[in-house]
């Protein structure tokens, strides 16, 4: 089976050891004690007929059988259901006060079953489900509430926001669309407008601009129709000027200038104090509609008002307009003139500084970036100064600016989260990353920064700051400089009496990734013996890391001891993952029977943890394949795909299994393409595609893709080189094939548990090649 390529740190699952307390607080505070149905839904279920609780009991005075009190007007079935639901709701509230969350959840679920038209139980249950990570059930309940209660749309909007905050915009979009489709809110109603507004926002954040424009058009046209009263409009548009501007910007990006103009005109009505902003919007529309002269005139009105509200976008628009007019040589003169008349305009100053830096006038650029304050605090200046100090070889100032920028400029480690930030912040992040890459490739400058830090750390009165040592440790890991990583991370650790657990986790993970197992073991054991409360609270986490270090170092017994101790120290929410880890240790040791035993325990005990179950299924499938039971191995993957047809890894793995057996090749190619579309640089998926193409006889394309696989990170895999050699042989490239077979053999021989089947095949191929060259 094609190997999965993921580093140790990528295998790490982000867990939380406690419920989200803000969600619990929401559940505690929301809802009233008096339950009332919001609408009339389907007829309620029938309650079972109540028996007389006093049946068979005789009154000793009268000698007659006692009977229960019968009201003059008996309760209807619906009233009885409402009473039962209220009792269950109150039971849940009491359990919630006692922090018995499981009982509370159970009571609220039952209350909703009896009274699905009552909003309070939904509003209290959904936050609890979110705290327990039951996001799918919470979303379904929010949708149900939107169909059965007047206020349910609020829960749909809140759930969509939850998905957005977890970088799952697609789920938020789908939820709102489903609510709009099923609930059929009247056009122009508050629910209708708010959900279309939010849907537009999430499309915009998801870079689906045309869809966002369609949703915003519904809101805009409804409001401009005159059928929406002022109070409702205020509910929909909390900040009309800002909201209409956002609509207009979206329309422009979607190629709808007429709608953009409408939106911008509405925005101007709510910004009478700043008419210059409307001039900027007009300039944008004129430029987009091919009227650069009018655009320049309108933009000048914005500049004359000396506004900064549009940030760099105004000066970037000026640059584009002048270029369109063939007058780009005017730009710097115009910028200098504006700056002379508006010297407190930092947006203009930094834009001008960037232009000057492009012309390599380092002194003038530095003067502009620094302004009147040499103590740089503005991130816009930091990015430019990084380039200047690096090119000047000023290591001391470079170290200072680097660590300042690191603290205030977001890194591009989470593209989805970064895309939700403003364009100016995205530009800063991109510029910072580019400067970091330039520094990483400039060995002399980077060593100069390290030397400056060491000098600052020496002496009786060291000046190096904790954040500087930490940042340099991270830089060293990113450049795979293990010696410097250990030096600066350990320096950061030494600067804290109570060192943050993150320092040990990050360095430990890096050392394991870089195969420095002995160093990782020493570091993690040091964390375990440190008396710091913060570290001892994370004891289970360091033991988890140690399982990898010990197992990769060939110390299986110690790895098992570490995982058992972790299970004795860990909070309940991650016990399933630790049981999985115990199975993985046996798996890595190729003890298939024991691995299968513990993986099956995971499947039976933690069936509700979807991600964990899928991870386990992939391992179980591979065990069956290793044992020669291909049918069972395939069936496990088919089970995964039945539940999740677009699952990337399952499509790849099953496609590869079929390709390796030479069956279902066209279907295998389709499935592997699904995986490659999701992760086009994944070497395992490239190998799978190359191999299925080889089996289909498309040798030239197979060799091309397999060669690409070897060039990716983690692409130095024996199977990939073996497959590449096979394809090259078919193309008559005997020398290249032999070279790749030799690479594959060397990599496989160095493994702790090499595949005897692959070794035998490679040696056989090389012997054939040797004879053919004699």
Q: Which range marks the domain in which residue 702 is found?
A: 667-773
pLDDT at residue 233, rounded to an integer: 83
The residue whose two tokens read 């800002």 is 242
Tokens of 491: 């320096």
Tokens of 768: 């054939």
Local structure of 65: helix, strand or coil: strand
Tokens of 207: 């870079």
Distance of CA 74 to the CA centre of its chain: 56
Q: Is the pLDDT of residue 66 over 70?
A: no
Does residue 686 lie in a domain region?
Answer: yes
Does residue 671 lie in a domain region?
Answer: yes
- Over residues 150-165, the pLDDT tens digits come to 888 888 888 888 888 7
- Over residues 621-641, the pLDDT tens digits come to 999 999 999 999 999 999 999
pLDDT at residue 414, rounded to an integer: 67
pLDDT at residue 410, rounded to an integer: 87
Determine the Cα–Cα distance for residues 249 and 695; give it in Å rounded to an integer: 51
Task: Please state, in angstroms and as integers, the Cα–Cα distance from residue 201 to each residue in 142, 157, 217, 515, following that order.
Answer: 19, 11, 12, 45
pLDDT at residue 125, rounded to an integer: 86
The residue whose two tokens read 């506004």 is 307
Among the listed ranges 56-70, 150-164, 309-323, which one has the minimum average pLDDT value? 56-70
Q: Where are the beta strands (DSSP E) in 355-506?
A: none
Report CA torsion sign: 103, 107, 113, 117.
Answer: negative
Does residue 386 lie in a domain region?
Answer: no
Phi-psi region of 601 (alpha: psi -120 to 50; beta: other; left: phi over 0): alpha
Does residue 768 lie in a domain region?
Answer: yes
Does residue 451 lie in a domain region?
Answer: no
Local structure of 37: helix, strand or coil: strand
How does the average pLDDT of the chain come out, rounded?
85
- Over residues 95-107, the pLDDT tens digits come to 888 888 888 888 8
List the Cα angle 130/135/137 in 5-degree steps: 105
What are the residues facing 58 on neighbouring strands? 65
Return the top range by mean pLDDT from 273-287, 304-318, 746-760. 746-760
Does residue 139 lie in a domain region?
Answer: no
Q: Any idea what the CATH number is for the domain that residue 760 is in?
A: 1.25.40.10
Does residue 462 lie in a domain region?
Answer: no
**Mean pLDDT along residues 668-680:** 95
Do 325 and 296 form a contact (C-beta atoms < 8 A)?
yes
Q: How many CA atoms lie within 13 A of 245 on its CB side?
A: 16
Tell me 189's DSSP state: S
Query: Per-residue confidence at 394, pLDDT binned at 50, 70, 90?
Result: very high
Does residue 728 lie in a domain region?
Answer: yes
pLDDT at residue 18, rounded to an integer: 31
Determine the Cα–Cα distance for residues 221 and 262; give it in Å rounded to an integer: 10
Task: Please state, in angstroms and as integers, the Cα–Cα distance from residue 720 to each residue in 658, 664, 715, following that order.
Answer: 17, 21, 7
Cα torsion 626, 628, 633, 635 to 10°: value is: -170
The residue whose two tokens read 């995986």 is 675
| Total number of domains constituting the chain | 1
The residue whose two tokens read 């490679």 is 762
Q: Is the pLDDT of residue 31 over 90?
A: no
**Mean pLDDT along residues 518-532:** 96
- Write out the H or E segment, with its range, that includes residue 593: helix 592-605
Tokens of 84: 């039962």
């Amino acid at each position: 089976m094609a190997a999965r390529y993921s580093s140790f740190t990528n295998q790490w699952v982000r867990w939380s050891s406690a419920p989200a307390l803000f969600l619990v607080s929401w559940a505690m505070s929301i809802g009233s004690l008096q339950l009332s149905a919001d609408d009339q839904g389907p007829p309620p279920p029938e309650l079972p007929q109540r028996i007389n609780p006093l049946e068979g009991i005789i009154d000793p005075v009268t000698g007659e059988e006692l009977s229960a009190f019968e009201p003059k007007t008996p309760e209807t079935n619906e009233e009885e259901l409402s009473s039962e639901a209220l009792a269950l709701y109150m039971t849940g509230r009491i359990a919630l006060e006692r922090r018995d969350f499981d009982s509370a959840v159970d009571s609220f679920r039952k209350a909703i079953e009896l009274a699905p038209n009552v909003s309070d139980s939904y509003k209290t249950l959904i936050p609890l489900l979110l705290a327990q990570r039951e996001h799918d059930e919470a979303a379904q309940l929010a949708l149900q509430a939107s169909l059965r209660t007047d206020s349910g749309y609020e829960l749909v909007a809140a759930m969509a926001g939850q998905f957005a905050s977890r970088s799952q915009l697609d789920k938020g979009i789908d939820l709102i669309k489903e609510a709009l489709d099923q609930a059929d809110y009247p056009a122009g109603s508050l629910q209708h407008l708010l959900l279309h507004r939010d849907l537009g926002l999430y499309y915009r954040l998801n870079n689906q601009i045309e869809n966002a424009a369609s949703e915003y058009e519904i809101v805009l046209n409804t409001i401009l129709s005159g059928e929406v009263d002022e109070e409702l409009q205020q509910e929909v548009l909390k900040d009309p000027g800002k909201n209409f501007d956002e609509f207009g910007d979206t329309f422009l990006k979607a190629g709808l200038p007429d709608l953009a103009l409408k939106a911008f005109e509405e925005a101007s009505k709510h910004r009478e104090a700043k008419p210059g902003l409307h001039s900027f919007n007009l300039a944008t529309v004129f430029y987009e509609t091919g009227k650069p002269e009018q655009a320049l005139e309108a933009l000048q009105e914005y500049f004359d008002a000396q506004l900064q509200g549009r940030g760099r976008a105004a000066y970037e628009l000026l640059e584009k307009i002048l270029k369109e007019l063939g007058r780009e040589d005017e730009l710097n003169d115009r910028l200098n003139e504006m700056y002379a008349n508006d010297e407190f305009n930092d947006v203009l100053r930094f834009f001008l500084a960037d232009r000057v830096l492009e012309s390599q006038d380092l002194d003038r650029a530095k003067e502009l970036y620094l302004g009147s304050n040499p103590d740089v605090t503005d991130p816009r200046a930091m990015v430019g100064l990084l380039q200047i100090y690096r090119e000047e070889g000023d290591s001391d100032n470079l170290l200072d600016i680097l660590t300042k920028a690191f603290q205030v400029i977001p890194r591009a480690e989470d593209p989805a989260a970064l895309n939700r930030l403003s364009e100016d912040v995205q530009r800063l992040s991109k510029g910072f990353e580019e400067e970091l890459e330039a520094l990483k490739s400039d060995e002399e400058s980077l060593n100069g920064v390290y030397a400056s830090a060491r000098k600052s750390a020496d002496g009786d009165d060291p000046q190096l700051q904790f954040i500087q040592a930490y940042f340099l440790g991270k830089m060293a890991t990113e450049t795979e400089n293990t010696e410097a990583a250990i030096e600066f991370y350990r320096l950061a650790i030494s600067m804290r009496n109570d060192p943050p657990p993150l320092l040990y986790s990050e360095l430990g993970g890096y050392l394991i990734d870089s195969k420095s197992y002995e160093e990782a073991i020493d570091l993690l054991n040091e964390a375990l013996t440190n008396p710091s409360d913060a570290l001892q609270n994370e004891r289970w986490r360091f033991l988890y890391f140690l399982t990898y270090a010990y197992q990769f170092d060939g110390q299986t017994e110690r790895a098992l001891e570490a995982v058992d101790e972790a299970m004795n120290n860990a909070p309940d929410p991650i016990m399933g993952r630790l049981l999985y880890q115990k199975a993985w240790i046996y798996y890595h040791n190729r003890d298939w029977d024991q691995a299968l035993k513990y993986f099956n325990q995971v499947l039976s005990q933690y069936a509700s943890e979807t991600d964990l179950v899928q991870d386990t299924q992939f391992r179980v499938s591979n065990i069956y394949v290793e044992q020669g039971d291909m049918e069972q191995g395939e069936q496990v993957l088919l089970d995964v795909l039945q539940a999740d047809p677009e699952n990337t890894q399952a499509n790849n793995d099953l496609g590869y299994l079929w390709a390796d057996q030479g069956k279902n090749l066209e279907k295998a190619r389709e499935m592997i393409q699904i995986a490659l579309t999701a992760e086009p640089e994944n070497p395992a998926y490239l190998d799978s595609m190359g191999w299925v193409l080889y089996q289909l006889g498309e040798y030239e394309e197979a060799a091309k893709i397999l060669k690409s696989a070897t060039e990716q990170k983690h692409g130095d895999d024996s199977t990939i080189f073996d497959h590449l050699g096979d394809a090259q042989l078919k193309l008559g490239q005997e020398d290249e094939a032999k070279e790749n077979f030799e690479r594959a053999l060397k990599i496989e021989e160095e493994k702790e548990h090499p595949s005897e089947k692959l070794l035998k095949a490679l040696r056989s191929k090389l012997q054939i090649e040797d004879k053919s060259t004699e």
